[in-house]
């Protein structure tokens, strides 16, 4: 049972996903705190009750209290949803008390390629969970039905977060496989960029399905190498999120691949594209460990300008013939 607390749940990060989570939590809590790093954004959210830059079309209910004062936001909290892009997570953690329970919601890696949950544990946080699943903010924010997973080694903590986040439109499962759930969300972004590259080259539905399926196989091998449970990749945080991201008009990662293939800039409207940065970390790791991650390595090479999308496609198609597996 989530402990009823003064002030209610706390969401740190007022981008698209943080805003959608705050709106979701407001369905079942009388008060929700949403922290924005920039006072200008906090002020705008308080005034117009709309996150026009990051989640247009979703109204912020009156229960959502927006602040740019981080210390005040977490002062009475026993746990908080950390929803800043992975590149900013280390800085955010430095500013938080280690007694705070953390629900890590970013789908990327820390500088150096470390998992965010490992970074949090290294920094001394004792209650850590990761949230991941097929959850486009644009749909969750509108209350469209979705499912997600909260993973923690601390089962009691996972159940508290599950109870806090469950609504009639968001079904929350728990898992103990932190590495598996976390890495599913991290890797699916890279495969979604690859699917977008195919879309940008107008390769068709067969090509997209092939990228998704071979990408899933690549995810399974990498997760296995990192000690994740074998079946987690076929759950919501793996296959589920991969399908949602690689096929969605909402996905920034898929759109980034499409833009690159068309010779355009990959970022849109200052929104975070985690897959490009992740591809570089993973390709470096694959190189160091002589580990075959062909789709990830192709995405890294294309995004760094070392290979054209057409050459990357040719290389993938002309790999040594082999058995499926
Ligand atoms: N948007 C989605 O549908 C969705 C769903 C699930 C998970 N995620 C993940 O959540 C994370 C955040 O994504 P988003 O879509 O909310 O981002 P976004 O692109 O919508 O917005 C990013 C927000 O973070 C702020 N920000 C940037 N750097 C920061 C820092 N160092 N400290 C504090 N705030 C900072 C920006 O000002 C902005 O408000 C990403 O890792 C993403 O993969 C996103
Ligand atoms: O828009 P994307 O590509 O960052 O994906 C958003 C979410 O991770 C989908 O679950």
Q: Which of 144, 197, 238, 253 to mutate to test the pocket of ligand 2 (most atoms within 8 A of CB)?
A: 253
Ligand 1 midpoint to CA 11 (Å)? 12
Mutate to test the pocket of ligand 2, among 251, 254, 266, 274 (most ligand atoms within 8 A of CB): 251
Q: Is the CB of 245 under 6 A from ligand 1?
A: no
On whether the pTM is more than 0.95, the answer is yes
Measured CA to CA, the distance from residue 143 to residue 239 in angstroms comes to 22
Query: 224-236: per-residue pLDDT in tens?
Result: 999 999 999 999 9
Q: What is the ipTM of this complex?
A: 0.97
Average pLDDT of the chain to the nearest whole number: 96
Give the closest ligand to the alpha carbon of residue 111.
1
**DSSP-assigned letters across all residues of 201-253:** TT--HHHHHHHHHHHHHHHHHHHHHTT--TTGGGSIIIIIHHHHHHH-SS-HH
Contact yes or no for 98/117 (Cβ under 8 A): no
Query: Catalytic site residues?
Result: 188
pLDDT tens string 92-126: 999 999 999 999 999 999 988 999 999 999 999 99
Q: Which residues are annotated as a binding site for substrate?
A: 107, 252-253
Please tell me the distance from the alpha carbon of residue 116 to that of residue 232, in angstroms, as a whole number: 18
Domains of the chain, start order: 10-182 (3.40.50.720), 184-318 (1.10.1040.10)
* Residues contacting 158, CB < 8 A, separation 6+: 129, 150, 151, 152, 174, 175, 176
For residue 192, the SS3 value is helix
Distance 251 CA to ligand 2 centre (A): 5
């Amino acid at each position: 049972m989530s402990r009823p607390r003064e002030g209610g749940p706390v969401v740190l990060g007022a981008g698209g996903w943080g805003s959608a989570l705050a709106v979701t939590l407001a369905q079942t809590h009388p008060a929700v705190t949403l922290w924005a790093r920039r006072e200008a954004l906090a002020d705008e959210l308080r005034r117009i009750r709309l996150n026009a830059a990051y989640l247009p079309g979703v109204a912020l209910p009156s229960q959502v209290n927006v602040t740019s004062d981080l210390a005040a936001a977490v002062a009475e909290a026993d746990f908080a949803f950390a929803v800043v892009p992975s590149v900013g997570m280390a800085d955010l953690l430095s500013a938080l008390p280690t007694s705070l329970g953390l629900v890590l919601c970013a789908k990327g890696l820390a500088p150096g390629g470390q998992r965010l949950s490992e970074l949090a544990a290294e920094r001394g946080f004792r209650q850590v969970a990761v949230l991941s699943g097929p959850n486009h903010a644009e749909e969750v924010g509108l209350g469209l039905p979705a499912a997600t997973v909260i993973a923690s080694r601390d089962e009691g903590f996972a159940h508290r977060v599950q109870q806090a986040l469950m609504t009639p439109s968001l079904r929350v499962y728990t898992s103990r496989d932190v590495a598996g759930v976390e890495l599913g969300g991290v890797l699916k972004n890279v495969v979604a960029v690859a699917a977008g590259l195919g879309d940008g080259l107008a390769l068709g539905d067969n090509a997209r399905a092939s990228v998704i399926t071979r990408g899933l196989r690549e995810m399974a091998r990498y997760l296995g190498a990192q000690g994740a449970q074998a079946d987690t990749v076929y759950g919501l945080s793996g296959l589920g999120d991969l399908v949602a991201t690689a096929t969605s008009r909402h996905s920034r990662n898929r759109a980034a691949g499409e833009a690159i293939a068309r010779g355009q800039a990959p970022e849109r409207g200052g929104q975070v594209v985690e897959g490009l940065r992740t591809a570089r970390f993973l390709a470096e790791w694959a190189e160091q460990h002589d580990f075959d991650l062909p789709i990830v390595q192709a995405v890294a090479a294309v995004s760094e300008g070392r290979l054209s999308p057409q050459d990357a496609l040719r290389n993938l198609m002309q790999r040594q013939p082999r058995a499926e597996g």
